[in-house]
Amino acid sequence: MRQAMFPRKARENVMARALRGIAPKRRLPHMAAPLIDPFQRPISYLRVSVTDRCDFRCVYCMSEHMNFLPKKELLTLEELDRLCSIFIGLGVQKLRITGGEPLVRRNIMSFFQAMSRHLDSGALEELTLTTNGSQLHRFATDLYSAGVRRVNVSLDTLDDTKFADITRWGRLPQVLKGIDAAQAAGLRVKINAVALKGFNDDELITITEWCADRDMDLTWIEVMPMGDIGNEDRLDQYWRLTDLRAKLGEHYTLTDLLERTGGPARYVRIEETQQKIGFITPLTHNFCESCNRVRLTCTGELFMCLGQEDNADLRAPLRAYPNDDSQVENAIRNAIALKPKGHDFDYSRQDVAGRMSRHMSHTGG
């Protein structure tokens, strides 16, 4: 395993260059103090939304007619590169690219290719993405070449008609083709499914077995109160993952896994299939104590917590100081100093209290 904050390959490179009297090519991660929030949680995971646009309109995520951001508001791919590289210099070891749909951003492969230099240097441990799968058939091989080894594909149903209903604009065969391409390219695929009562509760076993047949892990996500999407049935759709887990337990032998990723997911293994099943339950469990992540939007806002509105504008220092990364670093450190202890979601009063006005596609899920 790579040594955290002091990657062997990078250390060797620098030592070799120092022995030859050459200055280091780039700042080593350990040379800057790592990002530690006020609750002593090290920040090692950055999720980056590279676009707010999407070729689907999932009913729990977007309204059918969305107003997207004007182009000038978005960070350019060069700005995203600079910002991500600064974060990596401050100890971020895992980068997840998301959106909107990341693979619809023009020329996004050049960004993945650029980020692969941080994998090569050893500073970055993992470069990965969350996608709806619609464009995977086009990009799977390029993603693998850029060093991506795992992708999360969001898929809530295996029924063509239901798929078209829930995504409004999506078509299941295209996503299945993308998953085939990803696996053929050597990418490990994990399926993310939003648990929706009255929609996919009848597919629990079908989806599990389909994933088992294809050697894919599966994570269920509780529907979250994000954005004003004109869907007043959100509470009706809410399917407790404790209920889902109990239903799964009626069919299979489940073993709790101790594995923690610093995020809201908890895992079990299905003994019969040896699959890992994840449960993301931000509304029923408090996962904040081990939170190691922050989220960057495509406009350069840094959200310290998915469940709170506080954010810091990193685009301003990025554009004001094109040649001075230390100003951006300071802005990042000031923001991390404000990371809250926990989130505000609460369904307990049978009301969508703590509802966020922004969309999941804005912060990237």
Q: Which residues contact 340 (CB under 8 A, 6 or more apart)?
A: 304, 305, 308, 310
Token couple for 60: 């729990």
Smallest gap from residue 304 Cβ to ligand SAM (A): 18
Pair 129, 151: CB distance under 8 Å = yes
Q: Which stretch binds ligand SAM (CB under 6 A): 199-207, 208-216, 221-229, 308-316?
A: 221-229
Closest CB to ligand SAM among 300 and 365? 365
Q: Which residue number, 56 or 220, has a Cβ lying nearer to ligand SF4? A: 56
Among 43, 48, 62, 318, binds ligand SF4 (CB under 6 A): 62
Q: Is 185 helix (H, G, I), strand (E, B) or coil?
A: helix
Q: Which is nearer to ligand SF4, 238 or 252 (CB)?
A: 238
Rounded to an integer, what distance in angstroms lies between the CA atom of residue 123 and that of residue 339? 24
Nearer to ligand SAM, 121 or 363 (CB): 363
Give the three-class secondary structure for 336: helix
Amino acid at 97: I
| Residue 158 Cβ vs ligand SAM, minimum distance, rounded to whole Å | 15
CA proximity to 195, closest of 272, 86, 283: 283
Token look-up 């009848």 returns 202
* 361 scored as a contact of ligand SF4 (CB under 6 A): yes
Answer for which of 56, 112, 220, 345 binds ligand SF4 (CB under 6 A) is 56
Question: Segment contacting ligand SF4 (CB under 6 A): 51-59, 273-281, 326-334, 345-353?
Answer: 51-59
Q: What angle do CA 309, 312, 313 make, to 5 degrees?
A: 125
- CA-CA distance, 16 to 153, in Å (whole number)? 41
| Closest separation in Å from C-beta 332 to ligand SAM | 23
**Residues near ligand SAM (CB under 6 A), total:** 20
Stretch in the footprint of ligand SF4 (CB under 6 A) among 97-105, 176-184, 210-218, 339-347? 97-105
Is residue 97 within 8 Å of residue 65, measured between CB atoms? no
CA 191, 288, 238, 55 torsion: positive or negative? negative
Within residues 57-76, the interface with ligand SAM by CB under 6 A covers 60-61
> Inter-axis angle of helices 108-121 and 77-89, to 10 degrees?
20
Site string for ligand SF4, 140-179 (x = CB under 6 A): --------------x-------------------------
Tokens (6 digits) for 129: 């993405």
Burial (CB count <10 Å: 0-12, 13-18, 19+), residue 320? exposed
x/- binding map, residues 86-125, to ligand SAM, per CB under 6 A?
A: ------------xx-x------------------------
* Residue whose CB is less far from ligand SF4, 57 or 269: 57
| Alpha carbon separation from 128 to 190, 262, 289, 341 (Å, rounded) | 11, 16, 24, 26
Q: Where does this chain bind ligand SF4 (CB under 6 A)? A: 54, 56-58, 61-62, 99-101, 132, 154, 360-361
Q: Where does this chain bind ligand SAM (CB under 6 A)? A: 54, 60-61, 98-99, 101, 130-132, 154, 192, 194, 221, 223-224, 226, 360-361, 364-365
